[in-house]
Amino acid sequence: MSFVSQPRSNISIEFDDVGLLERMTTFALSTIPTCVFLFINGTILFTLRSKSVFRDTCRYILLFNLLIADTAQLAVCQVLFLLSVCRITLTYPVCGMLTVFANITNVISPLTLMVMSLERCVAVCLPLRHAMIVTIRNTRLAIIAAWTSSSLHNIFRVILLLDFPFEDLDSLQMRDLCSELTMLLGSRSKMYDNAFTGFLFVSAAIVIISSYVGVIIAARSASTGKASALKVRNTLVLHLVQLCLSLSSTIYNPMLIALIKIVQTVVFLRLHKFLYVLIILFPKCLSSLIYGLRDQTIRPILLSLLEFLSPFQSFVL
């Protein structure tokens, strides 16, 4: 999710050779898109809460929850990335709070995609009972359950973290750069985190694929509108793509660990920046564009935002 830790003594000489210009370029290439999409996400989030048509529609409530989780995680990941670029180390408590918050929002995304897929499946397979099953109250309960599950997961991670002998450390100041990987202290923490991540994404994939199959079966019946079923099927495929993009963040740290063993440190530092933009920044920026451009109600808002930002983009380029 964030920059994999490496001892500063191992990279300090090579890092200094990279130069101020490259660091400033990295800062600009990662921070400017992040700020743009944070602005877009913030505007869409405000719109989803300001208009009654969005507040009273269950799928928009779920979209609001997905966007707020992606927006929060994007902000935290960017902070951790900039700290790594600037070679700023934190204390264990501060790093722990940042990584816990990032992990909570990271778990929320696949859980919300599961609920969104089930909602669309019910809309096609049980159209007469959709209004009774998918209510605002049930939607809010599902969102509360998702946040509760994610919080309990992180509480258990903190409990495993307390087994680490912090009293044997000379100081709580970290020697390595802050990342989620550096906070997995001990084999039990790593095993639990890998097991939970695998279970979460396998469960989400099963739910989304099962919903897709259910929609296909319902689409073949005479009682289901073909156009509506096709639209829902495409939406479920989109949810599956979003799930794969969320899963890509889990391979980020293992990929960096493998790269540091086979490439020089200067090359690794540059690959780290490229992979961050490709695997972390890019997927988190897609939610507002993918769902915004497909939705006929949100599309005019998003297009007006893009028109507003086009002079700024021309100035930057």
How many structural domains comprise the chain? 1
Q: Give, in order, the Cα–Cα distances in Å from 67 to each of 11, 43, 44, 73, 108.
A: 36, 11, 9, 10, 10
Say which DSSP state 91 is in.
B
pLDDT beyond 70 at 229? no
297 occurs within a structural domain: yes
67 occurs within a structural domain: yes
How high is the pLDDT of residue 144? 95
How high is the pLDDT of residue 147? 94
pLDDT bucket at 139, cuts 50 / 70 / 90: very high
292 occurs within a structural domain: yes
Greater model confidence, 149 or 272: 149
∠ CA 3-37-100, nearest 5°, is 40
Percent of the chain with pLDDT over 70: 76
Q: Give, in order, the Cα–Cα distances in Å from 189 to each of 160, 196, 253.
A: 6, 11, 15
Query: Could you give the CA distance from residue 95 to residue 78 in angstroms, rounded to a whole number?
Result: 14
**Three-class secondary structure assignment of 16-81:** HHHCHHHHHHHHHHHHHHHHHHHHHHHHHHHHHHHCHHHHCCHHHHHHHHHHHHHHHHHHHHHHHH
| Cβ-based neighbours of 226, under 8 Å, separated by 6 or more | 219
Least confident of 105-114, 150-159, 294-303: 294-303
Query: Could you give the CA distance from residue 115 to residue 118 in angstroms, rounded to a whole number?
Result: 5
pLDDT beyond 80 at 271? no
Least confident of 20-24, 188-192, 311-315: 311-315
Domain that holds residue 137: 18-160+176-314
pLDDT beyond 60 at 33? yes
8 occurs within a structural domain: no
Query: Could you give the CA distance from residue 140 to residue 258 in angstroms, rounded to a whole number?
Result: 41
4 occurs within a structural domain: no
Nearest Cα to Cα of residue 272 among 30, 101, 17: 30
Instruction: Return the CATH number at 221.
Output: 1.20.1070.10
Most confident of 133-142, 168-177, 222-231: 133-142
Query: Could you give the CA distance from residue 68 to residue 80 in angstroms, rounded to a whole number?
Result: 19
Least confident of 13-27, 35-49, 248-262: 13-27
215 occurs within a structural domain: yes
How high is the pLDDT of residue 138? 93
Q: Residue with structure tokens 């264990």?
A: 92
Encoded tokens for 227: 């156009």
Encoded tokens for 91: 């204390």
268 occurs within a structural domain: yes
CB 95 within 8 A of CB 130: no
Half-sphere exposure of 171 (CA within 13 A, CB side): 7
189 occurs within a structural domain: yes
Query: Could you give the CA distance from residue 271 to residue 261 in angstroms, rounded to a whole number?
Result: 13
